[in-house]
Structure 1
Amino acid sequence: MSTSQTIQQLQAKLITPENFQPFGQVIFPSDDGKAFDAEDAQLNLQNGTPRFYIMRLHRNGRKFHKITRHVQCTQCLGSLAGKDWLMGVCPPHNELDVPVLAEIAAFRIPGNCFIKLNVGTWHAGPYFDHEFVDFYNLELSDTNVVDHFTHDFFQSHQLKFEMV
């Protein structure tokens, strides 16, 4: 018995605050001394101990079939050394247990900004073409233990995504 699979290409759009709004925020540099406002990351880290760390990831292609969300906190990701990267995302819809297939999008993120994912935003990545990239990551200390929900599109739909 053979199972067929489909690879759906996702056109990675250059991220802007406007086109990323359903998923979270894009944060660009601002002058020191600027007052806190809506352009700053609107964080939700009150459900535990915040963890801010640098994670080194190695090139892993541009395909994914699993997508994850965290429902207890926001998450911030940004690359070091100005390296660009890719991320697959889907809006939270926290009343649903699965991501909405038709709403999955891909973004190209330049190395001069970071993203804040809204609580519950589904995400796959980071992905990139560099040999490796160091990312800073802000989440809760136990996010990947107690707040890590994954949907497998290969298992549910025989589907993989490729960001182009």
Structure 2
Amino acid sequence: MATVRQVQITFDCAEPERVARFWCEVLGYVVPPPPEGFASWADYNGSLPPEQQDAAFACADPSGVGPRLFFQRVPEGKVVKNRVHLDVRAGTGLVGEERVAVLEAEGARLVALGATRLELLPADEENESCLVMQDVEGNEFCLD
């Protein structure tokens, strides 16, 4: 039997802090405290060699239940659809028009933070409605 392990989800991106702070707002996550000996992340970042500055950032579930999200700078931009994406559970337990209204309201909140609304996938025989979105760097995610 496998041992249960904690999971960190890592995003490749161009601007790690910007993307991390977006996801903090989406999920109610927080920026972890800076490393010991530093008053802020800006102080820590300034202590790094220039090529390592602004290269990574993270956010975490304040309750410690959800996975830590880690964002690392990469030189190449996003080219194709994600192979893995996050489903943000905004409408759990809701159906029909009530679910769509909640998804659309949350989608509007996220658009104000820099997300892009792509499309509403209507309910079918197997799945409830889902709103497909992109984060501030174009990574797809779903509000469901």
TM bracket, shorter-chain basis:
under 0.3
Judging by fraction of residues, say which structure has more strand.
1
Higher RCO, Cα 8 Å, sep 6+: 1
TM-score, normalising length: structure 2: 0.23
- Structure richer in helix, relative to its length: 2
**TM-score between both structures, scaled by the size of structure 1:** 0.21
Which structure has the greater CA radius of gyration? 2
